[in-house]
């Protein structure tokens, strides 16, 4: 299990001007936050986790937030998005166990095919012998 708080503490945060909400206020404040995590430089991730992240996302994981007017709220949003991206990339889906159709389902399928073929046969023009 990963300590996401420690992992997010390793993320580099950059602030810049936002194109989002804020009106005239947006022209003077740097409320857009970009959170960047360097996968290779992380001390929290194991080598296997680093390899999986590089394979799924790449060497750097980035999340941007400019939804809110406040820089603090955008920081929270960006870090939450970064956490979700890392969590999603590290999730290894379970292998599908192949299943086979039951005897009853095979019987039903063949019976439905027979009924359909009979229905189509009945719609044909009669033979003129």
pLDDT of residue 2: 82
Which contacts of 49-53 are long-range, i.e. CB under 8 A and separated by 24 or more positions? Answer: 49/2, 49/90, 52/89, 52/90, 52/92, 53/86, 53/89, 53/90
pLDDT of residue 21: 60
The three-class DSSP label of residue 110 is helix
Tell me, yes or no, whether 55 lies in a domain: yes
Specify whether the CB–CB gap between 74 and 63 falls below 8 A.
Answer: no
In 3D space, the residue among 82, 84, 11, 75 whose CA is nearest the CA of residue 42 turns out to be 11
pLDDT of residue 22: 60
Tell me, yes or no, whether 28 lies in a domain: yes
Tell me, yes or no, whether 14 lies in a domain: yes
pTM: 0.69
Range of the domain at 21: 4-90
Tell me, yes or no, whether 124 lies in a domain: no
Q: Where are the beta strands (DSSP E) in 1-129?
A: 12-16, 32-38, 60-65
pLDDT of residue 24: 60
CATH of the domain at 25: 3.30.160.20
User: CA torsion, points 67, 69, 73, 79, in degrees to nearest 10?
Assistant: 40
The domain total for the chain is: 1
Q: Which residues of the chain have pLDDT under 70?
A: 20-28
Tell me, yes or no, whether 102 lies in a domain: no
């Amino acid at each position: 299990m990963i300590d996401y708080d420690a992992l997010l503490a390793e993320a580099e945060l950059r602030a810049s001007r936002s194109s989002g909400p804020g009106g005239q206020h947006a022209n003077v404040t740097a409320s857009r936050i970009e959170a960047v995590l360097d996968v290779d430089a992380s001390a929290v991730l194991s080598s296997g986790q680093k390899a999986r992240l590089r394979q799924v996302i790449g060497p750097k994981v980035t999340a941007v937030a400019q939804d809110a007017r406040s820089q603090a709220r955008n920081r929270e949003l960006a870090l939450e998005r970064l956490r979700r991206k890392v969590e999603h990339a590290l999730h290894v889906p379970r292998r599908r166990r192949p299943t086979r159709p039951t005897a009853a389902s095979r019987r039903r399928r063949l019976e439905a095919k027979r009924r359909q073929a009979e229905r189509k046969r009945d719609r044909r023009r009669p033979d003129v012998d």
